[in-house]
Structure 1
Amino acid sequence: MTPPERHAVRSLAAARAGLSLDRDSHVPGLVTACRQAMVAGDGFQAFLLSDRLCRITGGREALPFLLRAGALALLGAAEAAKSDLEVAAELNPDHPLVLEALLTSTDPAIRLEAAKRAAGLPETPEIACRLLAEAGLSHIVRLSTQQDRLHIEAIWRGESSFTLTLAGGSERADETILATARGPGAYDYAATFERPWPAGWPSLVATVKGAPARAVLVAPVVLLAEQQAPPENRRGPGPPGLLVVVPVYGDAEATRESLDALFAAREGAPPTRIVVIDDASPEPAISAHVAALAEAGMITLIRNEANLGFAASVNAGLALRQAGEDALLLNADAFLPARALARLRAVMETDASIGTVTPFSNNGEDTSIPVRLQANDLPGVTQRAFIDRLAEETNRLDAVEMPNGVGFCLYIRGALLDAIGGFSVRFERGYYEDVDFCLRARQAGFRNVCATGIYVGHAGSRSFGAAKRPLVRRNLARLTARYPQYRAESRLFMRDDPLRPALARIEEAFVRSLAPPRLVVAPGDLPEAILDPILDHLPPGPLETLLLAADETEDGLACRLRGVTGPFPVDLAFPVAAGADPVAMLRARLPQGLGELLLIDPGHLPAGFGQALCRMTPRIALAVADQEALRLPPLPWLPAAPAILLAAPALGAFAREAFPGAALQVLKRRELPREPRAPWNRAERLLAVLPQGRDPQELALARALAQHLSGRDVGVILVADGELEDMTVAPIWITGAIPRPQLAHWLRRLGIAACLLPSRRYAAADPVGDALAAQGFAVARWQRAFAPAPHLDLPPDMPDAEAVGMVAAWFESLVAARVTAAR
């Protein structure tokens, strides 16, 4: 019988064997190999494969987590397997394999919910029918629209017919459903039925007469009329005007604040009418508030009897548009700035071809700032007004074309609505109907632009809950089928980011407005795992903190200025040509000077850069993270600091030599979560290498070590992102990036007991080394601290070739000791 620790090595070799390292076929190869390993019962190999799959695919797909759940189940890690299955179900609850796994869950509630979802499949699995019947559900009804017809499929128990009640507004109609076939499993009857869509009904709600509580109506519960064209919206010429359409549903506080901001934003706008659509809000406070506004004559109110979603609600509002009116679609959690209506219209009027205008926002998808293309925190009211003022001052009426606008705040030219009508309701209750509208606008000859001189706060969607992901998936598939080129065009927009220059102008203005900030200056290659604890150590106070990283290039310097604190974390990159004065460029960006200066590893800063920075302020502090920087010649220009912050205790010996007589302060370390040793696996013959990043020296050391250990019944796992080519060196395996807080747990899960930190510069300062050592891992690293066994300290000046031999001997002695102890 193979000992478990040797089985791990053989599983590692099997995982690598035959695995395609071609970029196009690597991910499908991982899927295939993982399935084969599970069929063979090799849970360790299946885990290595599926875990890498989860990490390199970005956590966006259900299948990798489903496969890893299966691998964990094979290894006896039931709770971890359940957690991954929950992730897979959240990512894509309609995936057939996810449903299959959920249908066999040990949790009855999960099984029943999965059975209800499975009822929406073209053929309901027998196990789902059994679970639904056991739960006492007598009728399963699927409804859909096809062209102008209502399609009904049903299975049920009891009598051979039942009555389905259809309701649309104040109208009601009963349909008798007669059995046409035997039902599956525990269900007696089945039927397929089709009828014309009820004339004049914009929406429809169905219930089973006499048994509503014992029936499952497969989503969508509310059906919308599937028009072949969006509703007619032609109004023609007329006096300038604006119709603002605001659907409301949840979050009473945000709704009230949004409407108040809208009322205040009308200054300078053409005659404006506001239509609010209460989309069957479940919050009485919302319904009461908008009713009061309507009673006061401030808005026109439309109430939906059922929750119809964004597109149908918008269309109900647009139906009230008058000749000459443009339209603004506004989410009820979007907060307009001063004069926003007039400013949005002014951008539209800069060019007759502009059909839609979307402003910058903290949470505007394609128009999100300052971190592009993702949701940013919502700033406070005063901060939003300040950012909007900077946007207006720097970008004015600037309009940047983009593939589509975004529906949280979408200003629409009236002529565009005349040309193409309103929103399509093919997208159910939400997601991508705004993109579809904008792509139809382009087909009609109009352009979609971002108004970079306007900033609108947006709290972000809180609707749909667990239904969001499957809805997004379905609607993205619908959009892609209609506009096959859209996704490629969208990726190109994200890559080129034509909005970046406009954002940079706002960021430049924001930085110029700051009172003298605290400036932290670090080498450009300082790892975040080292930098973040230093930044966390900075005392709180009124000063805004900026981080400046500088790298030497062939053409001069590449500088990056980032915000660390404050409501608007800037990220400005600016090159400094060879021979130019970088400090002069920095002074131009910070005209009010510096409040404080913190230099991290000043010996590694570009020549003359740190010295010039020290002339900008007398308040200077030093921090040291790079043990090699301490071995450089003294810097005569460096002023004496009251204290020098050390990123780790092990740097003390070098620091006392480099700064004799200086007061040394050691950074307090973060602790990694302590994890008990996993009982279900042992892999003491595997060595984990933990590089700081893509440093070629660190990767070269890992490759050399893997080559040295090849054929010795041990293996090397590189816990990092890496190139596929690095896996050609046996017996190395690359995991993909693992967040530091998860590292100890991940190592425990695999039963790995020994780690190497390969960075000469930062191994001593890397907090993960001490944290792992404190939790019982054997750690090898470059530092002059003389750690006791079982750890290994490598002299920082030792050549790589000698270090490889020393680490290999150390690791093999650990393996031998553990094997002896096991006997």
Structure 2
Amino acid sequence: MDGDSLFIDRADHGEALARLAAEHLRRGDFASAFRFADRLCRVGQASAIDILLRSEAARGAGFEDLADADLARAFDLDPTHRTVLRFVLQRGGRQEKLASARALIDDPACDPDLLRVALAEAFTGGAKAVLNLRPVAGRLRGWAVWRAEDQPDLLELRDESAAAPLAADPLHVLRQDGLDAADLSLDATGLRRVALGIGDREIACWSSAPPPPPPLDRAPETAKLWIVVPVYEDFEATRACLMATMAQLDDARARLVVVDDATPNAALSGWLDITAATGRLELIRNPVNLGFAASVNRALPQCRGGDVILLNADTLPPPGAFARLAALSRAAPDVGALTPWSNNGETCSFPAPNASAPMPRESEIARLDALARKANGDLLIDLPNGIGFCLYITRACLDAVGPLPEIYGRGYYEDVEFCLRAREKGFRIVCAAGVYVGHAGALSFGADKRRLVTRNMQVLRTRFPHHEAECAAFLRADPLRAARGAMERLDAPRRPLRLIVAALGACAIEAQAEARGFAPDAPKPLLCLYDPMRQTVALRGPQGRTPQSLEFDLSDARGVAALGKWLFRLRLTGITLFFSTALPEALVAMLPALGEMELVIADLEWFARPPRPDGGCAQPLDAIPCPSCAHALSDSRDTADRLRTWQDAARHGAPLRPLDRMGAFVAQRLFPEARRLPPPDLAAFAPNATGGLVLGLLSPLPDAGADSLILALAQALRRRGDPVLLVVFGVCLDEFAAMAPGNVLATGPVGDDELARLVQAHDVTELMSCSRTRFLGRLDALAAASGLARAGFDWSSGALPFHEADLALDPRLCDRKAAECVADWLQSRRAVDLRAAAKDESA
């Protein structure tokens, strides 16, 4: 980091991280390469190559599990990138290798050496032969590869078929041990199919694109509304969708057109024949599988004079949904397309956007639809684009835009382009916030589908380059949040819940961690998070369940009353209240009437004031706290006022539960008569006795005090010429200022579940929290899990024991004095290590 100005240049920081990671990787300094690549992947929108870079650094450093996880993530993010495919082919699992091999074989620009590796993997996976052909200037050119022990025939299917033995080229670039190869150049005139065969057995084939189906030999008909449903597989889901659709055709004055896209399911095909014979649906059959867009376009000429709904066959529309969408489409003349809510509706997903929830039962879909109608009525909210699972298109919009684009092959993003073209012509694309439709969606998303999505996304990005940024801005603003919240306000969860109340900040982070740790058979947690700046409370259910958008304004009595009324409807099994002076008295006062409470001591912010009330230390060169710093922690009337609420709660029998031993000590001192629960029991361990090379600093929350301490530590080490590296696990208020001294690296956001392994990957030798009063339990737990010595602020004034390898800091010390103590400690630990090494050499 030293000497690299781009590292702290905000504009070119990502470029500097990538370059530094690559340089250290080439040198074999895998630990440094991992540090830079890890930050690169955490602070921006990481590309597949960024993640691959971190994977290789982790592998070089010996962290195979991290490397494999990143390789899988890079492949998932971009299964078309040749570099990613090459590494997956070398290091991936069996299925990933086969998927990578197929992608490379299909890539016309693949390097021959890499193609040979891909072919070898395909044949190891069971391929009998590979035939790769593409039309070029009236001919069909390409190559064939087969097992050397076979002697296949080349079969050409035209009006008259021909077969001839296929001779291997001994000098072919794709020939290798056990495999023969040959180039092919065939006259494409009338050629429908090419195959390699051994006797009567076909081992590889190529088929030309199917000719367009002949026009339907029926006259277009007129209807008020047309519902077009392409179908292919899943008989039960398709039948449920079509039965629910047919049940409301009369009310919506609609006609149903089903396009059988060459289904291989005999049961589905037979049921469609029987149902079509009753006149309840009109059936169109594709001679070959065409995909969603082409199937829809084949039906559109039959749909004369009315609006059109494009409906997926795995949806479940509730009664009356189509009639209400039709009514909403007439709300304004510029409405071009509408999408309802769904459990799996991308931007229009409920309860959380872009998060798929399981398909509800039919009765639950009807209930959610009624809830949407009651909460939002005729509300329409503009969208960047509609979603094709259920897309209502007005006749004016369809006539202006035309059919769906077929450049996206068998699916994904044709609905997006249609909507973007509609907007170019002045039509609005909206969410019908008063309608809900169930949608099962894909149960799995294999590598081939991911590759198709990635390819189509690139096509869309080329054609509409600003759409991606518009969608990102839409998600940040989330104009649908209020409508989702309106539904949730009417719909109190009916399952048993435990309410967890905390103010935003450190307490909220600990509260969220506690909610994630609930046992599967325990009552589900419901987070109640208070924002002191906005004076609002947000209610959040577990694991994406409702509520996810519900908020109450506590700045006036009406909002407080509305929150109390909503909470009173719940089946609360108890309340966990995290100590914080930021919580308003009105919120705290309503809780005892709602259920049995426990009080959690997650930090000491409510107890300890800042150590520099006047903005600086009066005696910075002394090793002990100056009178000003010491006075900051003395008892005061302000401290007593802040404690009164908690003492009252404790006197009423609410147990106190500290999250760490410092909290337990303070609770014993301040609440001697309260019922106190023990802090988490951490197994005793002997921390490492030596180190002094990499100090890991915990900073889950950006905070000015944490930044000040980080800078003080960095400057103290710089003044001494000490080589210690400071790695901040988490975020800073100003990361570039914190890293400016050149001996600090901030990782960016880190999840609780990855912290311990990340500490290992960064070669950390000691730990410390960036906060004097917060996350003390996390520091203790991480030290125990990693076996590392730690520096911490001792609020017990020596009453609690510290291991001899640890450093107990006086919390009254200013940042500069505390930093000097830490620097002395690190130097002494490194000296122990050097003495031990010298002793080993002399021996």
TM-score under structure 2 length normalisation: 0.80
Match in the other structure for 1:818: 833
Match in the other structure for 1:456: 437
Q: 8 Å contact 2:68–2:92 — kept in the other structure?
A: no
Distance change >3 Å, CA 690–CA 261, structure 1 → 2: farther
Structure 1 residue 31 and structure 2 residue 18: aligned? yes
Q: Distance in 2 between the 1:813 and 1:45 partners?
A: 24
Q: CA deviation at 1:504?
A: 2.8
Q: Distance in 2 between the 1:379 and 1:699 partners?
A: 47
Structure 1 residue 312 and structure 2 residue 324: aligned? no
Q: 8 Å contact 1:246–1:332 — kept in the other structure?
A: yes
Q: Distance in 1 between the 2:95 and 2:513 partners?
A: 43
Distance change >3 Å, CA 191–CA 618, structure 1 → 2: closer
Structure 1 residue 687 and structure 2 residue 669: aligned? no
Q: Distance in 2 between the 1:497 and 1:731 partners?
A: 39
Match in the other structure for 1:493: 474
Match in the other structure for 2:325: 344
Q: Distance in 2 between the 1:222 and 1:667 partners?
A: 70
Match in the other structure for 2:725: 715
Q: 8 Å contact 2:80–2:455 — kept in the other structure?
A: no
What is the number of equivalent residue pairs in this alignment? 775
Q: Distance in 2 between the 1:447 and 1:795 partners?
A: 63
Q: Counterpart of 2:657 in 1: which secondary structure? A: strand
| Partner AA of 1:717 in structure 2 | V
Q: Counterpart of 2:7 in 1: which secondary structure? A: coil
Alignment map for 1:706-785 (pairs within 5 Å): 706-710=714-718, 711-722=721-732, 723-766=735-778, 769-783=780-794, 784=796, 785=800
| Partner AA of 1:608 in structure 2 | E
| Partner AA of 1:271 in structure 2 | A
Q: CA deviation at 1:162?
A: 4.6
Match in the other structure for 1:9: none
Structure 1 residue 94 and structure 2 residue 80: aligned? yes
Q: CA deviation at 1:432?
A: 0.4
- Cα deviation, 1:40-84, whole Å, max 9, x if unaligned, reads 23222222222222223455x220122123323433555654443
Structure 1 residue 262 and structure 2 residue 245: aligned? yes
Q: Distance in 1 between the 2:538 and 2:311 partners?
A: 36
| Partner AA of 1:458 in structure 2 | H
| Partner AA of 1:744 in structure 2 | A
Structure 1 residue 332 and structure 2 residue 332: aligned? no
Q: CA deviation at 1:438?
A: 1.5
Distance change >3 Å, CA 574–CA 610, structure 1 → 2: closer
Q: Counterpart of 2:730 in 1: which secondary structure? A: coil
Q: Counterpart of 2:801 in 1: which secondary structure? A: coil
Q: 8 Å contact 1:405–1:448 — kept in the other structure?
A: yes
Match in the other structure for 1:794: 809
Q: CA deviation at 1:772?
A: 3.1
Match in the other structure for 1:559: 537
Q: 8 Å contact 2:101–2:119 — kept in the other structure?
A: no
Q: 8 Å contact 1:233–1:418 — kept in the other structure?
A: no
Match of 2:31 among 29, 40, 44: 44
Alignment map for 1:644-655 (pairs within 5 Å): 644-655=656-667
Q: CA deviation at 1:517?
A: 7.3
Q: Counterpart of 1:697 in 2: which secondary structure? A: helix
Q: 8 Å contact 2:596–2:654 — kept in the other structure?
A: no
Q: Counterpart of 1:24 in 2: which secondary structure? A: coil
| Partner AA of 1:47 in structure 2 | F
Match in the other structure for 1:609: 586
Q: CA deviation at 1:291?
A: 5.4
Q: Distance in 2 between the 1:796 and 1:165 partners?
A: 85
Match in the other structure for 2:9: 22
Structure 1 residue 572 and structure 2 residue 550: aligned? yes
Match in the other structure for 2:463: 482
Q: Distance in 1 between the 2:738 and 2:138 partners?
A: 57
Q: 8 Å contact 1:687–1:755 — kept in the other structure?
A: yes
Q: Distance in 2 between the 1:233 and 1:759 partners?
A: 77
Alignment map for 1:328-407 (pairs within 5 Å): 328-407=309-388
- Cα deviation, 1:504-549, whole Å, max 9, x if unaligned, reads 32232225x8799764321221355521354467799998854332
- Cα deviation, 1:67-106, whole Å, max 9, x if unaligned, reads 1233234335556544433332332232122233345559
Q: 8 Å contact 1:249–1:278 — kept in the other structure?
A: no
Q: CA deviation at 1:206?
A: 4.5
Q: CA deviation at 1:258?
A: 3.2
- Cα deviation, 1:111-132, whole Å, max 9, x if unaligned, reads 6654443233333422245346
Distance change >3 Å, CA 771–CA 74, structure 1 → 2: closer
| Partner AA of 1:737 in structure 2 | P
- Cα deviation, 1:718-742, whole Å, max 9, x if unaligned, reads 1113433322123001112222212
Q: 8 Å contact 1:692–1:759 — kept in the other structure?
A: no
Match in the other structure for 1:84: 70
Match of 1:244 among 228, 251, 255: 228
Q: CA deviation at 1:143?
A: 3.5
Q: 8 Å contact 1:278–1:304 — kept in the other structure?
A: yes
Q: Counterpart of 2:340 in 1: which secondary structure? A: strand
| Partner AA of 1:691 in structure 2 | S
Distance change >3 Å, CA 448–CA 793, structure 1 → 2: same
| Partner AA of 1:461 in structure 2 | A
Structure 1 residue 702 and structure 2 residue 688: aligned? no
Q: CA deviation at 1:433?
A: 0.7
Q: 8 Å contact 2:502–2:508 — kept in the other structure?
A: no
Name the % identity: 30
Q: Distance in 2 between the 1:75 and 1:596 partners?
A: 48
Q: CA deviation at 1:426?
A: 0.8
| Partner AA of 2:539 in structure 1 | L
- Cα deviation, 1:105-164, whole Å, max 9, x if unaligned, reads 5988866654443233333422245346764866542447x9xx9874312469999544
Match in the other structure for 1:520: 500
Match in the other structure for 2:601: 624
Match in the other structure for 1:201: none
Match in the other structure for 2:630: none
| Partner AA of 1:153 in structure 2 | R
Distance change >3 Å, CA 42–CA 139, structure 1 → 2: same
Match in the other structure for 1:550: 530
Distance change >3 Å, CA 308–CA 509, structure 1 → 2: same
Q: Counterpart of 1:375 in 2: which secondary structure? A: coil
Q: Distance in 2 between the 1:296 and 1:669 partners?
A: 70
Task: List alignment gaps of at least 5 residues for structure 1.
Answer: 1-12, 199-203
| Partner AA of 1:730 in structure 2 | G
Structure 1 residue 141 and structure 2 residue 124: aligned? no
Q: Distance in 1 between the 2:94 and 2:228 partners?
A: 47
Q: CA deviation at 1:400?
A: 1.8
Q: Distance in 2 between the 1:601 and 1:803 partners?
A: 29
Q: Counterpart of 1:719 in 2: which secondary structure? A: strand
Q: CA deviation at 1:405?
A: 0.9
Q: Which moved more, 1:445-454 or 1:586-595?
A: 586-595
Match in the other structure for 2:106: 120
Distance change >3 Å, CA 545–CA 101, structure 1 → 2: closer
Distance change >3 Å, CA 779–CA 50, structure 1 → 2: same
Distance change >3 Å, CA 100–CA 548, structure 1 → 2: closer
- Cα deviation, 1:748-802, whole Å, max 9, x if unaligned, reads 2333232112223323333x53243144122333354433233334344443333
- Cα deviation, 1:233-292, whole Å, max 9, x if unaligned, reads 999994424233142334x554444344434454621133241524534x6665565556
Q: Which moved more, 1:695-704 or 1:133-142?
A: 133-142
Q: CA deviation at 1:455?
A: 1.4
